[in-house]
Amino acid sequence: MADQKGTTKKSSRHPLGATPDAEGVNFSIFSYDAKGVELLLFDKPKDLEPTHVIPLDPAVNTTFFFWHIYVSGLRPGAHYAYRVDGPREDSQRKDGQSSLALGHRFNKNKVLIDPYAKGNTNALWDRVAACGPDDNVKTSMRSIVIDAASYDWEGDMPIHRPMRDTVIYELHVGSYTKSRTSGVTHPGTFSGLIEKIPYLKGLGITAVELMPVMDFDDKEVMRVSPADGKPLTNFWGYSTHSFFAPKCAYCVSYEEGSHLRDFRDMVKAFHRAGIEVILDVVFNHPAREIRMDPPSISKAWTIGFTTIWCPRTNNTIWITPAAVTRLTVITRSPKS
């Protein structure tokens, strides 16, 4: 684990997220309204408390609205999260406008995942605890440091097949190989899909369209079953909370940070078989859309630049889907 004395190296606001190099990790997040940020470091995904809590100094660790710090000695595989302080819904701004009208939900007790994380872990996750006002570090999600630059694409390139020649097969990663009858080694994962490529190719399809594979909270109760009244949780993944992180449950060793490797291995395998990969990405109703979503999911980082909360409808309107510009970090080959 990093020594806090090693955090004095100059950090950078770019790139956003956690970016490792040979000497440590650069952390950078954006928040227009945050007044204080703490970086929490964990050795293991199931640690109940962080091994290090590093306060970011606004005079040293901010550039415009970016909060950033470099931690020497930290390596890929480290787990981390944030605490962020700022205006609350019940506070009043100096200009007379209420924070309620702006939708601010800052709560320094809550542990937040990184909006730009390339992978998360949910081994301890308790959605109910996250929704309350109290400290939830013992049951929080955590992000994980992943080296996105070390992967070998082996010359893989987009296929660029004309649409007129395309036959699309839509599927859900979590359910397609979930049954034991699928015969795959790791059911319900990106790896499981690789084993089914010969079958899919035999159908004559030329592209697979994957229902949302970005990370979402599968403990979110969407509605109750009309048949038996039991809660129905989010299975399909249409309330994304991390657009740059593959769904952890679809990865074989997500607690070790296999998120990008597993996803990229799948894309590369499909391309080798002449099958294109299309992602179903939904920006109009992410997890942060509903005001009652836990701050750990909705990030509680900022409102205004990316979202506007409408008190009348009790929903958030996403006005700047900036995530589109960084989707290439997990889906494309380096030269594409």
Question: Which pLDDT tens digit goes with each residue over 160-214?
Answer: 999 999 999 999 999 999 999 999 999 999 999 999 999 999 999 999 999 999 9
Q: What is the pLDDT, as a whole number, of residue 300?
A: 54
Q: What is the C-alpha to C-alpha distance for residues 122 and 241, in angstroms, rounded to an integer? A: 13
What whole-number distance in Å separates Cα of residue 250 and Cα of residue 42? 23
- The pLDDT value recorded for residue 315 is 46
* pLDDT at residue number 294: 64
The dotted CATH code for 4-148 is 2.60.40.10
Query: What pLDDT score does 90 carry?
Result: 60
CA 21 to chain centre: 21
Ordered per-residue pLDDT tens for the chain, 336 residues: 444 445 557 899 999 999 999 999 999 999 888 999 999 999 999 999 999 999 999 999 999 999 999 999 999 999 999 999 988 766 555 555 555 555 677 889 999 999 999 999 999 999 888 888 899 999 999 999 999 999 999 999 999 999 999 999 999 999 999 999 999 999 999 999 999 999 999 999 999 999 999 999 988 888 899 999 999 989 999 888 899 999 999 999 998 999 999 999 999 999 999 999 999 998 877 775 444 456 555 445 554 344 434 444 444 433 333 332 222 223 333 343
Do the Cβ atoms of 275 and 207 come closer than 8 Å? yes
Cβ(23)–Cβ(9) below 8 Å: yes
CA 265, CA 195: separation in Å to the nearest integer?
12
Per-residue burial over 261-300, b if 16 or more Cβ lie within 10 Å, else e, is bbbbbbbbbbbeeebbbeeebbeeebbbbebebbbbbbbb
Report the C-alpha gap between 124 and 137 in whole angstroms. Answer: 9
pLDDT of residue 330: 31
> Can you give the residue ranges of every domain in the chain?
4-148
